[in-house]
Copies of this chain bind each other. A is one copy, B any other.
Amino acid sequence: MTWQRYCEYLCGAPEVGLTLDVSRMDFDADWLASMAPAMERAFAEMKALEGGAIANPDEGRMVGHYWLRAPELSPKAELRGEIESALAAVKQFAAGIHAEGRYTDVLSIGIGGSALGPMFAADALGHPKTDRMRLWFFDNTDPDGMERVLAGLEGRLERTLVLVISKSGGTPETYNGMKVAEAAYERAGLRFGEHAVAVTMPGSRLDQTAAEQGWKARFPMFDWVGGRTSQLSAVGLLPAALQGLDVDGLLEGARRMDVQTRVAEVRANPAAMMALMWLRATNGRGEKDMVVLPYKDRLLLFSRYLQQLIMESLGKRLDLDGKVVEQGIAVYGNKGSTDQHAYVQQLRDGVNNFFVVFIRVLEDGGATLELEPGVRTGDYLDGFYLGTREALAANGRQSMTLTVPRVDARSVGALIALFERAVGFYASLVHINAYHQPGVEAGKKAAAEMLGLQKRLLAALTAEPKTVAELAPGREEAAYLVLEHLAANGRAVKSGASVEDARFRSAG
């Protein structure tokens, strides 16, 4: 029974050796058949997208990440040329750096789509013995966090290449990180631009700065590639190439997966099958969380990468007709079997508000050891996956499993492409724009207002202590919070016994 169901629905991408097993998801053949018309529309929309339609209508943009690994499919010859020359430039630059032998480390400054993919690939594919350079990251505007990274690089800045990665060139965290790095190079008596590389849209503020200051190199980001799908552009490929990873393998894996996930037949298309399973499990309304559980240490950061890809793409207030839908799927997870000792207790016994996406890696690799005749360390890892899948199913908890032969550049490229396509299909199925992020602006705007308020407060502080009502009538709470932060950093002085009675005066 389970065996028949397993065989019946096993779906794959033979060219990359990947399979998708959905037999432990709660659906039947009738439901799957009933979804054919909706899926037909999704296939058609995807075809239009790949053909160069304005698939991101709110921003009036094409959505072209699939062209990155098949430039010949670009709707215009000009785009094809841009992709091909950017890729050639990345490979040539990395080869030159390796040949030069001057640099040992890379400090990559970026956030969101400019950090999560590079971090995931670096950890999934890196190894202390084969890496050509060591990667470090600034992915926040935390002064303490940046200082700690710089402490790790101390004495080696002249051997450290800096990448500044920002599509718009105006991302504040990235800009701040660049300024902190610049100051560190200057303190070390080094000219920053000599060691700095920009990855950004041609003509952006960052691009202009890099050009004016004569940075070591500049690489383009394309208007039609969003941050969360930029791993196979210069954003992800440049750090990977510098580390010495197999950039061609990443692209080839994605390209092969793209071929498979263009097949307009659900049972032969793992991205379509996965999107339909997500739809079924969540009722198309995010009613269940997606727990991503790879049984492989190298895939630890994949769930963090997928959080952005899936949640930023699908977490939308309005559908394409402007109807309020409040869509999305929450994603979390780390790795097995480690997480079995953390929260599988809740998954099996507790609130049934999730489905699991297991990722299984067939080849053990590494330091496998025979513990008793016929039983090796890797058998335990696989055995724990099999056991957990079984134990969850026994309690009516749903799961699906992606199986890959090994974690290498090809399978990582294929996994990224698979989820990119599944997200696109799912967005079609629930009729939303997967390619914009309007909700992010509100937080940025509110943050900018807070910085404005801070400036006004700093100007309003006097030697005489004042209450927040005096300093910022009508904005007492925000003013208190801003002043509390300033006071903790010696830039204001707080007095008063309680919060209500707090008074602030200027520092020094």
Listed in ascending order, the chain A residues whose CB lies under 8 Å from chain B are 2-3, 6-7, 10, 23, 111-113, 115-116, 127-129, 139-148, 150-152, 154, 171-173, 176, 179-180, 183-184, 227, 285-286, 289, 295-298, 304, 307-308, 311-312, 314-317, 326-332, 334-354, 362-369, 371, 374-384, 386-388, 390-392, 394-395, 403, 405, 407, 437-440, 442-451, 454-455, 458, 468, 476-478, 480-482, 484-485, 488-489, 498-500
Can you show 26 pairs from A to B with CB atoms below 8 A apart? Answer: A3-B476, A10-B499, A112-B340, A128-B148, A140-B337, A143-B364, A144-B364, A171-B341, A286-B351, A286-B353, A304-B334, A307-B343, A311-B346, A312-B342, A312-B343, A315-B351, A344-B439, A348-B440, A362-B485, A374-B455, A375-B454, A378-B489, A379-B451, A382-B450, A382-B482, A387-B448
The contact of A315 among B144, B340, B346, by CB within 8 Å, is B346
Instruction: For A341, give its contact among B10, B308, B354, B438 (CB under 8 Å).
Output: B308
Is chain A's binding surface mostly helix, strand, loop or mixed?
helix
Q: Which residues of B contact A451 (CB under 8 A)?
A: 375, 379-380, 383
State in angstroms the CA–CA spacing of A440 and B285 once bound together.
30
Roughly how many angstroms separate A482 CA and B140 CA in the complex, as a whole number?
A: 43
Smallest distance from the beta carbon of A324 to chain B beta carbons, Å?
10
Q: Compute how far the CA of A100 lies from the CA of B349 in the bound complex, rounded to whole angstroms.
A: 48
A441: nearest residue on chain B (CB-CB)?
B391
Please judge, given known A-B contacts A344-B439, A364-B489, whether A446 and B316 are in contact too, CB under 8 Å: no
Establish whether residues B338 and A143, one from each chain, have CB atoms under 8 Å apart when the complex forms: no
Among residues of B, the one whose C-beta sits closest to the C-beta of A478 is B386
A316 touches B2 (CB 8 A): no
Pairwise interchain contact B477-A176, C-beta atoms closer than 8 A = no
**B contact residues around A329 at 8 Å (CB):** 351
Contacts of A308 in B (CB 8 A): 341-343
Closest to A324 in B: B349
**A140-B381, A443-B387 are known contacts. Are A330 and B346 too (CB-CB below 8 A)?**
yes
A383 contacts across to B, CB distance below 8 A: 447-448, 450-451, 454
How close is A158's CB to chain B, nearest CB, in angstroms? 18
- Do B488 and A362 have beta carbons less than 8 Å apart? yes
Give the CA-CA distance A477 to B376 in the complex, in Å.
21
B326 touches A440 (CB 8 A): no
Query: In whole angstroms, what is the CA distance A366 to B450 when docked?
Result: 22
Find out whether the CB atom of B289 lies under 8 angstroms from the CB atom of A330. yes
In the complex formed, the residue of B with least CB distance to A459 is B374
Pairwise interchain contact A445-B142, C-beta atoms closer than 8 A: no
Chain B residues whose C-beta falls within 8 Å of the C-beta of A113 in the assembled complex: 341
How distant is the Cα of A315 from the Cα of B477 in the complex, in angstroms?
A: 36
Would B499 and A176 count as touching, CB distance under 8 A?
no
A179 and B443 in contact, given A152-B128, A387-B449 (Cβ under 8 angstroms):
no
Contact B477 A2 (CB under 8 A): yes
CB distance from A278 to the nearest CB of B (A): 13
| A172 vs B296: C-alpha distance when bound (angstroms) | 16
Which residues on the B side are within 8 Å of A354 (C-beta)?
330
Neighbouring B residues of A403 by C-beta, 8 Å: 484
Whether A346 contacts B312 by the Cβ 8 Å rule is: yes
Q: Is the CB of A380 within 8 A of B330?
A: no
Chain B residues positioned under 8 Å from A351 (CB to CB): 285-286, 315, 326-330
